Structure 1
Amino acid sequence: MPGSLADLVAGIHHGIDADEAMCWVARLTEWDRYQGSAGIAAAADFVAGEAERAGLVGVEVLSFPADGRTTWWTFTAPSSWTPRAAHLSVPGRPALVDYPAQPYTLAAHSAAAHTEAPLVRAQDDGWPPGAVVLVPSAARLDAKLHARIRHERAIGFCVSTGPDRQEGAGRLELPGGSALFGFSVVPGQMDVLHRAHSRGERARVVVDVDTTPARMPVVVARTPARDARLSPLSPLSPLSPLSPDACLITAHLCHPAPGANDNASGVAAALAAGRVLAARPLRRPVRFLWAPEFVGLAAYVHRLVEEGAGPLPTMAVDLDMVGQDQRRCGGPLIVERSPEYLPHFANALVEACVRALPAAARSYSGAVGCDVWAWRTTPFVGASDHAVLADRAIGCPSVQLGHWPDRFNHSGADTLDKVDPQELRRSAAIAASAAAVVATAGAPEADRLAHLLTRWTARRMTARLPPDDDPLAATALARHARYGRDALDTLRPFGADPGVLDRQAALLDGLHHTLAAAWDHVPVQRHGGPPLRRAWPGPFNLRALMGAVNESDRHWFTRRLAEDRGRFYASAMALAQSVDGVSGTADVVRTAQLDAGIRWEQGFGERFLAAMAGAGWVKEGEREGEGEGERSEGGKGN
């Protein structure tokens, strides 16, 4: 990208106040931000106030039901549940578990309790009624054990969250409205409970929760309208109610305290991006949204799409776990690309903004910038809010910024000291810079973006050259070339010169022709079979699918999730998104493997698609557009 992008990124990076952002993170860690709780309501009010103070306008806290019944497509509203306090003790010792002093120790949606109860082990026979079950690991807390807990009338359980959680308990969740309570304990606490069990002692349990009906908050804001005083406006430019926002920057607001990196850091980074953008002359508005993960954004997007509340943004950037101290937590910054089925310049732009960040140091000669932080790009996974926007049913190109792995994620050890102010600053600068480019682009900028997109595509294509041992490498090369050509077309609404776009497309065609010669023979892959089409409403929702499949398929899903949660989730998302109404089963499986960058054992993809078909989520033999009357409505209580 030309120096103008480097200057833009440097200026925005300089304008991010890392100290202020860390103060926002610290404040947010004080609230338990469960999705339908008093804590998230307080956090939403705080964010709205800070957004106004940062210069954003149109700030509003939207209110949606938190009744556990209302749905938006297949996303169900959270249940109202605010934890106050919880204690677990055995004779002769102070409280073994003391919530909220010990974060994450109380399972979400635990039922109220005030009792003394016998302790039993999960492997014991003949539990007495009203027992507290000691479970050795979260993996053992499966559907079979839950069924036994209900059958033998146990009132709750304690689960050891494993030796990797010595610094803090790990996350546990129960369904909304559960009649059970649960405690997450570290191995040392579980040892104390086992000794108490061996002595025949009873545990004293107090769980104080508030289930008074609450609301689910969604905070929205946008940059103020200003005169950009740039080149003449493009066809996309008019600031009218029907014009799309240049970019939507999202960050999920939920998670128990402290939740510093996940996701107080994302919320703070979005606020920091908002402050720096609010002070800039932008041709088009940038919108911000803070909401409960998945369901909050689904409720908001449902209003836009199904209720006609407004157009979708041109693109989106999702900020989720963006402040990690890489040395302590163990993972680089991840730029997760928008999916392959949505060709767009967004991926190339965001990656260019990362590359343009000012280096903290220089090489010995000063010729090369040097940094100690790391970043990587990955294919689309969709394990955060961007999945709702980027789904085929919605079609908004969405890039996610985050960190993985993170050894403290979803535990009480995700504290403020795990957040690096400079990493937070970099993430905010990347999101704000990409949004600023889209919000100010006219014809000259669109032409420069076309050149950037061509270089980005060329890098992807050359990475597929032999000796790439991927049997689908040649196919991927062709798909990358096609993606780049199609993505060039997304610059036309910004006034890009058609001649520039045509020349860049010709360059990609020529490069593809040259690189394809590296393979002696590329078999033409043609797969017949009836096409598969989506039969579920709205964006894909793995949790809802697991509730819809039969018992055998649910057990298979659960087992695969336990084996490798991230791999299974990414595979499920890729398979679901490859159902396009045109491709048959074999093509869906092949496309999903290409898009996810994952190779499965024989039959995995077919097994998953068969489960979807059995649940009525996939139909065979109908072309896209047929059977539209079967589409179900969202937003209704059920």
Structure 2
Amino acid sequence: MPTWGLTGLIKELLSSLAKNARGSLTSDMVNMLTRHHRIQGSTGLENALSDLYDALEGIGYSPRVIEVPSDSRKGFIDSPVSWEIEDAFLQFKAGGKLLEEYSFTEHPTLVAAHSPPGEGCGTLSLCNGGECHGDAVLARGPAYEAYSRADAKLVVVYEPKRYIDAVPYTGLFLHSNEVKDTVVMNIPYRTALKLMSMLVENPGRKIEVCWSNRSRYTSKPMHVLIACNDNVDGPGVVLVSHICHPRPGAHDNASGSVANYVAAFISHVMRLDIPLCHVWVPEFTGTVYLDRALPWRPLGVVNLDMVGSKQWITGSTLNIVNAPLYMDSTIVPYTYLAVKAVLDTAPSFSGFDLPGSRYSLSPYTAGSDHDVFLSWGVDTVMLNEWPSKYYHTDMDTAETLSQRSLTDTAVASLLAAYMAYKRYRVNFVTNVFLDYLKTWYALEAMKTGFNTGLDELSRRISDQARLKPGEIRGIASPVSTRLIQRLIGFEKYREITEVKGAVSYLTLYAPLAYVNGISDASQLFQLENLVKWSNREEALISEAWELIRNEVLK
């Protein structure tokens, strides 16, 4: 670490960006990515990667790409059949009067990703319980479940958890052998409520639906983009961002992709003396192919997924997502320290700098590319803003992002990587962080009224026998939610998703604990998340885990 300390290094990083980048660099990159419809296996995704490749080459990197086969599986992660969409529309009428209409041009999330093509007109029916058939049916998501269960030419999906006036993004992520003659489209929850109300109030009323989805399947592969500096030998640190998702997909995840690029820009012009690789992937499906693609096994990984928003619009808080507590970590303490050093910019009367934007620690949560690296036993942290008002909708636009916040995230990521590689005061930083983590848990427990097992949790945080990166027995990948659905069925999976933390537990936490001989993973997970599952929830999760252990990890 330079003699000027953290504050001095932050100033140097920001100064280097200001001197070497045009003022609109960040916004230009956001606009460049959000104009592409970046569905996995699509030309839009490839074009976004191509634009980013050119931008990296333009600042002096020698980027390379690796191939991800279409319609394949690696580890426990499925890659969908590749897919292109040209155009689509959806129209509702009653008594000859137009009720609502949507076009793909105005609403890029209208068609579920990887939906089969088709067109037609018919009468709208409601899905009730297990009954879901007719010309066109209105069904609550998840879209894959609705698609699999429906006997219809068109499935119209709504998602109550998405912003009520926005068209949600849903994905089928089909293999070629799952394709059938059913189109899947999405509508805002408010529109769904209107249609349901009309049909419930007057069961004899006919709502006519007309639709067209001009899409097609292909066999072309996807790609992963890798750009490493060449001025220092590794092993070093990886910054990873998934670049997929439909247009505009600004917060999720043009934001992380742009922050990663800005970090690459700064580190290159500064000739930062640490080995770094910057990676852009199709989420999960591309990340699993990095096991043999990097020049070295990473010392640490920072996953950038949904960052840099205008928090007053999105309602987000930046979460520094911890690794499972049975794993030892240095990248998490360094990242927390880096975020604090960069974001504490608001002056106080006492002279201390206070948080200029919201950030917080978070227990381990699954759902992004950090899971893949953790499954391999690599020390990994995620920076993720949550909640996000327009998450997975067509209203996730560039206007929700902050240039300054994206830059701050890039600088914090670089600072964390720098400290991790240099092992900056490693014993002091990790010990102080672990003491803080105990206090954080104690205060959270007091706030929530959770008072079970805190002494044990404190002991586990301090446990010197925690699994060390490099010594952990890894697994091929996290267990995908699609695979869990196949094992336990839609009904039980839906129940599982309603149990706090259950998906995180089943996809990675329990499998990795199991192969490393940790016998009390369920108890530890509940302590980490300050949650106590009911007997019924325990039984449900235990049944699912037994199937995963016996069928997947055998």
- With the shorter chain as reference, the TM-score category is 0.7 to 0.9
Question: Does residue 589 in structure 1 map to residue 488 in structure 2?
Answer: no
Matched, 1:273 2:291: no
Which of 43, 49, 53 is 1:48 aligned to? 53
- Per the TM alignment, residue 372 of structure 1 is displaced from its structure 2 partner at its CA by 3.8
Aligned to 2:477: 539
Moved more, 179-188 or 256-265: 179-188
Unaligned runs of 5+ in 2: none
Q: Report the secondary structure of 2:270's partner residue.
A: coil
8 Å Cα contact 2:133-2:150 kept in structure 1: no
Contact 1:345 1:490 (C-alpha < 8 Å) held by counterparts: no
Residue 76 of structure 2 corresponds to 74
Distance 1:613 1:124 in 2: 28
Once residues 442 and 241 of structure 2 are traced to their aligned partners in structure 1, the CA distance between those partners, rounded to angstroms, is: 37
Q: What secondary structure does 1:261 align onto?
A: helix
Q: Pick from 386, 404, 412: which aligns with 1:422?
A: 404
Amino acid at match of 1:9: I
Q: Which residue of structure 1 aligns with residue 324 of structure 2?
A: 339
Partner of 2:166: 168
Select which of 522, 542, 546 maps to 1:609.
542
Q: Which amino acid aligns with 2:169?
A: R
**Cα offset for 1:10?**
2.8
**C-alpha contact 2:77 2:480 (8 A) present in aligned 1:** no
8 Å CA contact 1:162–1:187 kept in 2: the answer is: yes
Correspondence for 1:98: 103
CA contact (8 A) 1:96 1:189 kept: no
What is the DSSP-based 3-state SS (H/G/I as helix, E as strand, rest coil) of the residue aligned with 2:211? strand
Q: Give me the whole-angstrom Cα distance separating, in 1, the residues matched to 2:130 and 2:504.
A: 39
2:456 aligned residue: 475
Structure 1 residues 463 and 259, CA gap change in structure 2 (3 angstroms): closer
The letter for the 2-side match of 1:203 is: V
Partner residue of 2:501 out of 547, 567, 571: 567
1:575 to partner: Cα distance: 2.9
TM-superposed deviation, 1:193:
5.3
Aligned counterpart in structure 2 of residue 579 of structure 1, from 510, 514, 520: 514
The Cα shift of 1:99 comes to 0.7
The normalised TM-score by structure 1 is 0.76
Match of 2:290 in 1: 300
Distance 1:419 1:215 in 2: 31
Partner of 1:497: none
Q: Which residue of 2 aligns with 1:62?
A: 66
Q: CA separation of 1:193/1:470 partners in 2, compared to 1, >3 Å: closer, same or farther?
A: closer
Unaligned ranges ≥5, structure 1 = 227-238, 492-532, 620-629, 632-638
- State the AA in 2 paired with 1:256: P
Query: What is the count of residue pairs matched by the alignment?
Result: 532
For residues 474-553 of structure 1, what are the structure 2 equivalents within 5 Å? 474-483=455-464, 538-551=476-489
Tell whether 2:481 aligns with 1:556.
no
Larger Rg: 1
Please state how far the C-alpha of 1:43 moved relative to its aligned partner. Answer: 0.6
- Looking at structure 1, the residues matched to 359 and 514 of structure 2 have their Cα atoms a distance apart, in angstroms, of 31
The residue that corresponds to 1:528 in the other structure is none
1:116 has 2:98 as partner: no
Indicate the SS of the match to 1:158: strand
Is 1:264 the counterpart of 2:265 in the alignment? no
Q: 2:162, 2:271 → 1: CA distance?
A: 48
Instruction: State the identity %.
Output: 20
Superposed CA RMSD in Å reads 3.3
Per-residue deviation at 1:266?
Answer: 0.4
Higher strand fraction (1 or 2): 2
Instruction: Output one character per residue of 1:105-140: Cα deviation in whole Å (capped at 9) or x when no partner.
Output: 2111221113222322324999886x01123x337x
Pair 370,458 (structure 1): closer, same or farther in 2 beyond 3 Å:
closer
Whether the 8 Å CA contact 2:240–2:302 is kept in 1: the answer is yes
Please tell me whether the aligned partners of residues 90 and 212 of structure 2 are also in contact (alpha carbons under 8 angstroms): yes
**Equivalents in 2 of 1:51, 1:425: separation in Å?**
17
CA displacement at 1:490 relative to structure 2: 8.0
Tell me, yes or no, if structure 1 residue 388 matches structure 2 residue 372: yes
Following superposition, the deviation at residue 346 of structure 1 comes to 1.2
Change (3 A) 1:292 1:473: same
Alpha-carbon offset, residue 156 of structure 1: 1.1
Amino acid at match of 2:158: S
| 1:312-327 to 2 correspondences below 5 Å | 312-327=297-312
The residue aligned with 1:182 is: 184
Matched AA of 1:436: Y
